[in-house]
Amino acid sequence: MKDELIKGHAAAFFTAILWGTTFISTKVLLRDFAPVEILFIRFLLGLLALFIAYPKRFKSRSVREEAVFALAGLTGICLYYLLENIALTFTMASNVSVVVAVAPFFTAILSRIMIDHSERLGAGFFIGFILSMAGIAIISFSGSELKLNPFGDILALLAAVTWACYSVLTKKISSFGYNTLLTTRRIFCYGIIFMIPVIRFMDFSPDISSLTKPLNFANLLFLGLGASAACFVTWNHAVKLLGAIRTSVYIYLVPVITVIASILILKEPFTFMTGLGTLLTLSGLICSEIKAGGRHKNKES
């Protein structure tokens, strides 16, 4: 049991690190591609990588299970990223990063309603949530003005809700007993299928010459193979081992990793407020995890 917990935390931490650095790659690619083009290409590459890594044929046992896979693809692949990208066109990136980071809160609520009615959300979870959100807000808004745009912020909030739905659905999928690579591959398939009708009405016309640029090609490979194929497998594996709630709190780390990556790679300045925000965010994560760990131990004893 202890080994499984260590593996689960390692998988969630690895995922947070890679997802936190996707901002750098996306920022580079946005010079030549529209957001929807980056989104579609990265998940198509991810799907191909999963087929190559595990080409075994997959067939679910029932229509009900297939419906759960379809819903996971719709929420976690299609709707979440589309809502997030569209929100970025209406409001500040800092607003979106803070609003989307409330996903663990919605995950906890949905998980309690839909999966484990007996699990109580203790004070530690809410204290950790408040600390982390305060830290993320300090990181995101330090050095900039807070500008609210109701439509963009509502879209970001809907993105957080859809990610919470995805987290709960992946917990349900883990109970089916299938290989994680196979289930992630099926989720990607449905995500891309749901994405196809949408891109017909959006600015989707990738330039072949831009695709062949070494820098663009390298960043697309990173997003497709690393941030999509590998990370969704490790995230789903973490949900399987830790549960939806404990895994979801690692989302608090993503803005922190983004700041650290920006400092190291883009040479952006490190300020006192950035350090304070990072400390608060990490404290919230630790607080949530310690309390969650205590509840699991009590259940086992």
Cα 100 from Cα 153, distance rounded (Å): 9
Helix (H, G, I), strand (E, B) or coil at 281: helix
pLDDT grade for 186, boundaries at 50, 70 and 90:
very high
Q: Parse the chain into domains and list their residue ranges.
A: 2-300
Cα 128 from Cα 133, distance rounded (Å): 8
Mean per-residue pLDDT of the chain:
82
**pTM > 0.85:** no
Q: Does the pLDDT of residue 70 top 60, yes or no?
A: yes
pLDDT of residue 79: 93
Cα 125 from Cα 98, distance rounded (Å): 18
In the predicted model, what is the mean pLDDT of residues 126-148? 70
pLDDT of residue 120: 62
What distances in angstroms separate CA 195 from CA 79, 88, 118, 168, one per listed residue?
A: 8, 18, 36, 21
Greater model confidence, 271 or 19: 19
Q: What is the dihedral of CA 156, 159, 160, 164, to 10 degrees?
A: 170
Render the burial of 228-261: b for 16+ CB within 10 Å, e for the rest.
Answer: bbbbbbbbbbbbbbbbbbbbbbbbbbbbbbbbbb
Asked whether 162 and 75 are in contact (CB, 8 A), the reply is: yes
pLDDT grade for 225, boundaries at 50, 70 and 90:
very high
pLDDT tens-place string over residues 79-99: 998 888 788 777 666 566 667
In the block, tokens 């941030």 appear at 227
